[in-house]
Amino acid sequence: MQSGYSATELFAVIHARVHGNPGAIRIEHLLTDSRKLNFPNTTCFFALKTGSGDGHRFIEELYRSGVRSFVVTELLNLDQYPQAVFAVVPSVVGALQQIAAYHRLQFKLPVIGITGSNGKTIVKEWLYHLLQEEFTIVRSPRSYNSQIGVPLSVWGIHQEHDLAIFEAGISQQDEMQPLSEVIRPTIGILTNIGEAHSEGFVDRRQKLQEKMLLFQDADTLIYCSDDPMVKREMKALKLKGNQHLLAWGSDRDADILILESEISANGRAIAIKDRGTSVEIRIPFADEVAMQNALNCYAICSALGVTERMLHRMNDLPPLSMRMAVVEGQLGSKIINDSYNADATGLFSALDFMGMQHPKMERTVVLSDLSGIGKDPSKIYVLVQEYLRSKLVKRLITVGSQIRNYFSAEANPGLIIEHYSTTEDALQHLRISSFRDQLILLKGRRDFHFERISALLEDKRHQTRLEVSLSAMIQNLSAFRSILGKDTRIMAMVKAFSYGAGSFEIANLLQYSRVDYLAVAYADEGVELRKAGIRMPIMVLNTERDAFPMLLQYDLEPEIFSLEIASSLSNFLHREGIEYFPIHVKLDTGMHRLGFNEERLNDFLSSGMLQTSFKVRSVFTHLAAAEDPRHDDFTKEQIAAFDHMCAAIRSALDYDFLRHIANTSASIRHPQATYEMVRLGIGLYGIDPSQTHGLLHEAVSLKTTIAQLNQVKRGESVGYGRDAIMKRDSVIATLRIGYADGFPRALGNGVGSVLVNGKLAKTVGNICMDMCMIDVTDFEDLTLEAEVELFGPNRSIVHVARDAGTIPYEIMTGISQRVPRVYIS
């Protein structure tokens, strides 16, 4: 590991105006997310300003935690931070990139720079799989390919590394040049030029030219010559003396020429001629995209001169999901399954993720020998020990012959350590009962087959599952923050089991993402969140008299919607000796469900309760049809009524309060209605009822499997009631999902469809309680246990709801509790 740099040296690199005394401060860690602080004494925090937040807000918190060096654009009150040093710069992102570029210049090693529209991350991970035995590799963690992710990746280069692999992604012009200066690749590869992220460019050619800036100083530039435009632009390059092109493809001029490829049950065999030498590559995938990614990897190995040693590993390329999954374990445990690789960078990322999950659960890590740790593993393992301590890990289970040498009970007091030589050894000796109520991280090298440990620990329930993409939810939250004013607060609706997605997991994500409020329907939902460790403010929408004690005990803030409920709560508070209890006043501006109309509001204001019993945190109402342009005039009438009633409340109080009226649709369609706070619910899951915002990503997927395949003859019936009579000899698949799971009965008899192998299959017969049937007569190569998507990334929940004659809200909240929720990151 590098010993870092002095603050004086790095602040000189970025030409900063320095306030405070850098003294002996050393910088070894660069931090842009205050929630991921691990080593405060040697961390420099970069106070980024983005559409979703301002890093300057977290300086006080970081200073209390021990951070002493900060890169900022705004100078804070130095008297509050007597031991800190501030580097003031015009652009914090630019300063981060300059420091990473300076760090890159300290090392002379082969650096592979990857860009393209698709395939960057899979090529990077496959290269790591192929080359990790020959090289000590540093690479981009996961998909760190942005203006911020690239410099953080390059900062990871240390003296022990002899190969670096970084990916660079852009979405508009003028973004690649700074990344090129940070990465400075010696080998460049363009995966492809497709339609992804095209919004910021005039056409494909402009996007290609921008991406090619990454390679301006590379010695070798690799590309597929089958794309005529790419070939033409590459040939037009004015190469410098030491630069050369390396093309692969079916084009006769390609340096690596594809002669033929043959698909088999085990994958694909590809015959090529590599600059005159015949070579056969075998990969365990049959699809065209996998072949392209594999040939990109082969071309890089060819450029490095290591193809002979790589060929047998090509047939063992892993199917990478590129994601962590949080699943239910047995005996109340939770499992974070991140076992597709086990290098130090990936481990630290997984431990950061673990740190934000289930704060009250005891933490256990199951860890194999690490890969890519160079000739002196002790330095890496010392850092791992520090990370484990910082994440409050109580139990470590190691698997492998190397790792056991670096973890002893004496050196790690308070950490329970168990060592196993092999995964088989661990499976024989691990007792499921010892994992009760624990949060378990599985992080194992692929050759250790930790999926077997996951299978041992997972709760063996229904094969139907609801997948929730936490990453997509974060993207959606960022999208809303980008269109709202920077001072607009967000209340996230987590009622009804977080719209069916799971209460704690979603609330915890939102707490981690620093939304301002949560809202639940009933007090018991808020109680469960408090018991699970949620600390942020929670509003209770439906306040019941029996729940008043819980409001006090668990610090829950009730909605007050009537004089009767207000009077009852006021009397209760008086008996308890409590004044100025926080409340949220609900107004009825036209929806006529709950809330004070103007007359009843005047009675409430004159009652005196607001002067003694209550402190108004917010005033709000519900819009009846914010998503529908046909009712925009009515929406404007509601907004005007809200303004009028809020003015009356304000005149009765000697303090201010928050106002909120906008739901997901109003946040998008009625910007004048965002006030000081908005309420986001289904929009966080990527569903826009107004269907006007193209920036959202659907975050939920409902999947099941095929239980049986039946040959049904013409004239025979399928399902209860014999409503489906086959008009031809048919193949009918029975799925492990029914209306008790949340798949509506209204979708039976061909009304609904599901996706099987990327093709739509219609339902047959009535939907049963626990199962349903689909017609797969025209499908090839279907097998038992094949995965079926009911809604998800390839079939929108909006379409499913429309088929069922309902709305996405009902579909989501109707998913049964017996369906396991799997959380993907």
273: Cα separation from own chain's centroid:
41
8 Å CB contact between 819 and 500: no
Residue 420 annotated among the catalytic residues of the structure: no
Give the span between the Cα atoms of 118 and 120, in whole angstroms.
6
Among the listed residues 483, 503, 613, 476, the one whose alpha carbon sits nearest the alpha carbon of residue 558: 613
The pair of three-digit structure tokens given for residue 504, joined into one six-digit string: 């704690």
CB atoms within 10 A of CB 82: 9
8 Å CB contact between 123 and 296: yes
Among the listed residues 506, 515, 511, 499, the one whose alpha carbon sits nearest the alpha carbon of residue 678: 515
Residue 823 annotated among the catalytic residues of the structure: no
Burial 19-40 (b: 16+ CB within 10 A, else e): bbebeebbbebbbbebebbbeb
Among the listed residues 725, 639, 628, 634, the one whose alpha carbon sits nearest the alpha carbon of residue 668: 628
Give the span between the Cα atoms of 71 and 56, in whole angstroms.
9
Catalytic residue among 235, 240, 720, 759: 720
Give the span between the Cα atoms of 598 and 648, in whole angstroms.
9
CB atoms within 10 A of CB 80: 10
Burial 527-551 (b: 16+ CB within 10 A, else e): bbbeebebeebbbbbbbeeebbebb
Give the span between the Cα atoms of 257 and 20, in whole angstroms.
61
Give the span between the Cα atoms of 101 and 754, in whole angstroms.
49
Among the listed residues 791, 813, 632, 589, the one whose alpha carbon sits nearest the alpha carbon of residue 704: 791
Among the listed residues 765, 733, 735, 772, the one whose alpha carbon sits nearest the alpha carbon of residue 749: 765
Catalytic residue among 211, 495, 586, 703: 495
Could you give the C-alpha distances from 121 to 143, 165, 297, in angstroms and in order? 6, 10, 12
Residue type, position 731, single letter = V
Among the listed residues 446, 115, 130, 119, the one whose alpha carbon sits nearest the alpha carbon of residue 283: 130
Rg, the chain, Cα only: 29
Residue type, position 730, single letter = S
8 Å CB contact between 149 and 168: no
Residues annotated as part of the active site:
495, 720
